[in-house]
Copies of this chain bind each other. A is one copy, B any other.
Amino acid sequence: MSNLENNLKIIDKLAIGVDLGGSKIGIALVKKNGEIEKYVKIPTNAEQGKELIINRIKQGIYQVIEEKDLQINNILGIGIGAPGPVDYKKGIIHCAPNLPEWTDVPLSNIIKDEFKIPVIVENDANAAAWGEKSFGIAKGIDDMICISLGTGIGAGLILNGKIYHGKNNLAGEIGHIVVNKEGPLCNCGNYGCLEAYSSASGIKNRINNKIKELETESQVLPPLLNFDDISLAQIFEMARQGNQIVQDIVDEAIEYLGIGIASVVNILNPEMVVLVGGITNEGEKLLNPLKETVFQRGMSSHLQDLKIVFGSLGEYAGVIGAAALLWNYN
């Protein structure tokens, strides 16, 4: 077969998925079986503003197409997962945490104007959920909560086999379940949200506050200073190495996450809870105590068939899910 014939053969099986994040943008050519044909990762450089980011997205899309010797009019369409509330029907990003200037951006039309092919924009947690449901661990599962654990905590809700959006496309904010009404201040302005305990930013804040508290008591602990730069992986490692302050806060983070999941399970009675995002690198050391809490705190009726698992698509859930919006979406 000529190169052209070969390309035409696979053309109807390719869509482009874009995962727009606060620090990086992932762009992938995805086959209809969910396999990634080509992937590029570019920095977001959020501080450079909206226009430059949009240009970089366009360039990245051209890049993955050209590097596979394809032409844009042979691509099925482009799916984009973006942070914050998204009007998926109109393709508008209402606002995006960590992306200045991104207010009511009609990203779908902007990208459509450039490439003249179908474009779908979704919330990034929804896109990741759709990826795991379409091609990952949740394939064939119709009632599933896909929890994104990272700087914040969000979720994509798959109910009756479809993404559930809520009245104003704001469903899934499970990071803002109030787990302790007397708890610490959350980024949302409320107190005692799950996110304030169990997200990366929440855990870091709590450790830093504890350090400040100890410093006031004149018990300075040198290894914990300048904590803002430390990664969550390092925090978990410190906990394992016996730092009691860190261990206590990490233990409580996992306990509250389990309690939050138990509450969501009691409300929605899903078949599966899928965990995706940075914290999930912790593996069984996170999953085992987490499951223990969920199974201690959930209703026995709701736990019988419940599966609590890590996503199987890793960091690609977002791009694969965004591409999958083109094939079998709602």
Indicate whether A304 sits within 8 Å of B168 (C-beta atoms), given known contacts A263-B263, A267-B267, A299-B188. Answer: yes
Given the complex of chains A and B, what is the CA–CA distance between A167 and B268 in angstroms? 8
Q: Size band of the A side of the interface? A: 35 or more
The binding surface of chain A is classed by DSSP as loop
28 A–B contact pairs at CB < 8 A?
A85-B301, A155-B267, A159-B164, A160-B164, A167-B269, A167-B270, A168-B269, A168-B301, A168-B302, A169-B269, A170-B299, A170-B301, A171-B267, A171-B268, A171-B269, A172-B267, A173-B266, A173-B267, A173-B269, A176-B266, A177-B266, A177-B267, A178-B263, A178-B297, A179-B179, A181-B297, A190-B296, A190-B297
**Chain A positions 296 through 308: 1 when the CB is less than 8 Å from some CB of chain B, otherwise 0:** 1111111011000
**Chain A positions 254 through 268: 1 when the CB is less than 8 Å from some CB of chain B, otherwise 0:** 011001001110111
**Chain A positions 163 through 194: 1 when the CB is less than 8 Å from some CB of chain B, otherwise 0:** 01111111111101111110000001110000
A143 within 8 A of B: yes
Contact B259 A181 (CB under 8 A): yes
Q: Which among B166, B178, B268 is the interface contact of A269 at CB below 8 angstroms? A: B166
Q: For A189, what are the chain B residues with a Cβ–Cβ distance below 8 Å?
A: 300
15 more CB-based (< 8 A) A-B contacts, given A172-B267, A181-B256, A181-B297:
A85-B301, A142-B167, A157-B268, A160-B164, A164-B268, A166-B269, A167-B270, A168-B301, A168-B305, A171-B269, A173-B302, A178-B263, A181-B259, A190-B298, A267-B268
Q: For A19, what are the chain B residues with a Cβ–Cβ distance below 8 Å?
A: none
The 7 closest A-B pairs by CB, nearest first: A166-B269, A170-B269, A167-B271, A176-B266, A177-B263, A171-B269, A173-B266
Contact B190 A166 (CB under 8 A): no
Q: For A304, what are the chain B residues with a Cβ–Cβ distance below 8 Å?
A: 168
Q: For A173, what are the chain B residues with a Cβ–Cβ distance below 8 Å?
A: 266-267, 269, 299, 302
Q: For A296, what are the chain B residues with a Cβ–Cβ distance below 8 Å?
A: 190
Contact B178 A259 (CB under 8 A): yes
**Chain A positions 269 through 313: 1 when the CB is less than 8 Å from some CB of chain B, otherwise 0:** 111000000000000000000000000111111101100000000
Indicate whether A178 sits within 8 Å of B179 (C-beta atoms), given known contacts A160-B164, A268-B171, A269-B167. Answer: yes
Given the complex of chains A and B, what is the CA–CA distance between A176 and B181 in angstroms? 16
Q: Which among B157, B166, B179, B299 is the interface contact of A143 at CB below 8 angstroms? A: B166
Within A130-153, the residues touching B (CB, 8 Å) are: 142-143
Contact B262 A167 (CB under 8 A): no
- Measured CB to CB, the nearest residue on chain B to A141 is B167
- Measured CB to CB, the nearest residue on chain B to A173 is B266
Given the complex of chains A and B, what is the CA–CA distance between A266 and B305 in angstroms? 26
Q: For A180, what are the chain B residues with a Cβ–Cβ distance below 8 Å?
A: 180-181
Q: Which among B143, B171, B177, B188 is the interface contact of A167 at CB below 8 angstroms? A: B143
Say how far A174's CB is from chain B's closest CB, in angstroms.
5
Contact A266 B179 (CB under 8 A): no
Q: For A301, what are the chain B residues with a Cβ–Cβ distance below 8 Å?
A: 85, 168, 170
Q: For A171, what are the chain B residues with a Cβ–Cβ distance below 8 Å?
A: 267-269
Q: Which among B264, B297, B298 is the interface contact of A267 at CB below 8 angstroms? A: B264
Say how far A41's CB is from chain B's closest CB, in angstroms.
30
